[in-house]
């Protein structure tokens, strides 16, 4: 089985296991930064007043809900995992004619070139094998001048690093195991997955990949003592 298929199947299985009970554990074990990061992420797009936004990896729809709040855009909420998308479609805060839902894979989204004014994606790149191709695929969906913004976990430096290790290697695995079997699997996977991704794609290299995928004005800002990073760029 190819790496792409293996990673995709893993992501689908992982998220299908937590789709019925996603938001509360995500908030709690994200140390209550989860919604704050979404607000920050959407605030990078809102000033561009996009008419149509793609929320790739919408999951249960929290970012789409924030887009509804901060913009007047129409929103296409997309995800690989059917049960996550179903939870998004039933989210009370997303009952709006401005929102539609599609089941798709970011690695081959099958949407028309240049059809969006903005693309946002969250926690995606650790679940794909070929990062440059995914950045190109998402960039292709944007009109020239359109903006893309992503949110991903990052690794704090200095004195915060041992505390981050304690949180991701001890607190998360033990705490999430107490929530459910599916969340237990996430708890064991998350910390090593963040570290592995950071090793393969340190921030400078990732920004370079955005540029090579056809983006300008690429920049990254760190949030919450370095525990998360938002990268933005403009389609050239
Ligand atoms: C951690 S959740 C994020 C959900 C939501 N955006 C949030 O911030 O709470 C990541 C989502 O990415 C989706 N996903 C993973 N790989 C994907 C891919 N290749 N294409 C589309 N969605 C994918 C998963 O199904 C999951 O719903």
What digits encode the pLDDT tens for the residues 134-179? 999 999 999 999 999 999 999 999 999 999 999 999 999 999 999 9
Nearest Cα to 79, choosing from 69, 70, 89?
89
The predicted-structure confidence for 59-88, as pLDDT tens digits, reads as follows 999 999 999 999 999 999 999 999 999 999
CA of 75 from ligand 1 middle (Å) equals 16
Ligand 1 lined by 150 (C-beta under 6 Å): no
Whether the predicted pLDDT of 231 surpasses 80: yes
Residues in the chain: 236
Residue 7 CA to residue 200 CA, distance in Å, equals: 16
Burial of 216 by CB count in 10 Å (0-12 exposed, 13-18 middle, 19+ buried)? exposed
What tokens does 137 get? 């695929």
Ligand 1 lined by 186 (C-beta under 6 Å): no
Determine the pLDDT at residue 178.
93
Determine the pLDDT at residue 154.
95
b or e along 129-145 (b: 16 or more beta carbons within 10 Å of the residue's beta carbon)? Answer: eebebbbebbbbbbeee
Residue 154 CA to residue 119 CA, distance in Å, equals: 21
The rounded Cα 122 to chain-centroid distance in angstroms is 1
Ligand 1 lined by 54 (C-beta under 6 Å): no
What tokens does 21 get? 């009970």
Q: Which residue's CA lies nearest to atom 1 of ligand 1?
A: 123
- Mean pLDDT confidence for 39-59: 97
Name the CATH superfamily housing domain 3-235: Vaccinia Virus protein VP39 (3.40.50.150)
Nearest Cα to 18, choosing from 98, 169, 123?
123
For the entire predicted model, the pTM comes to 0.96
Q: Which residue's CA lies nearest to atom 26 of ligand 1?
A: 59
Q: Which residue's CA lies nearest to atom 4 of ligand 1?
A: 59
The values of phi and psi at residue 114, to 5°, are 65, 20
Nearest Cα to 18, choosing from 108, 79, 102, 77?
79
CA of 53 from ligand 1 middle (Å) equals 16
Residue 170 CA to residue 187 CA, distance in Å, equals: 9
- Mean pLDDT confidence for 89-100: 97
Residues 153/194, Cβ–Cβ less than 8 Å: yes
The values of phi and psi at residue 216, to 5°, are -115, 175
Q: What percent of the chain has pLDDT over 70?
A: 99
Determine the pLDDT at residue 1.
45
What tokens does 214 get? 């056809």
């Amino acid at each position: 089985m190819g790496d792409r298929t293996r990673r995709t199947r893993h992501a689908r299985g992982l998220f299908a296991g937590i789709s019925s009970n996603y938001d509360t554990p995500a908030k709690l074990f994200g140390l209550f930064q989860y919604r704050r990061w979404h607000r920050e992420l959407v605030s990078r797009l809102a000033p561009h007043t996009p008419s149509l936004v793609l929320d790739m990896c919408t999951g249960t729809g929290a970012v789409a809900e924030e887009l509804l709040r901060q913009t007047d855009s129409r929103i296409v909420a997309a995800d690989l995992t059917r049960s996550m998308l179903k939870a998004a479609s039933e989210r009370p805060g997303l009952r709006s004619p401005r929102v539609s839902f599609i089941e798709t894979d970011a690695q081959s989204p099958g949407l028309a070139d240049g059809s969006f004014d903005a693309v946002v994606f969250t926690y995606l790149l650790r679940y794909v094998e070929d990062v440059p191709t995914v950045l190109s695929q998402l960039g292709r969906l944007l009109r020239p001048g359109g903006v893309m913004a992503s949110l991903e976990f990052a690794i704090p430096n200095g004195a915060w690093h041992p505390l981050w290790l304690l949180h991701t290697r001890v607190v998360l695995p033990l705490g999430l195991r107490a929530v459910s079997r599916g969340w237990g699997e996430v708890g064991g996977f998350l910390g090593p997955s963040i570290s592995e991704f950071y090793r393969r794609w340190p921030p400078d290299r990732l920004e370079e990949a955005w540029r090579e995928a056809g983006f300008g004005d690429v920049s990254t800002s760190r949030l919450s003592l370095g525990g998360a990073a938002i990268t933005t760029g403009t389609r050239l």
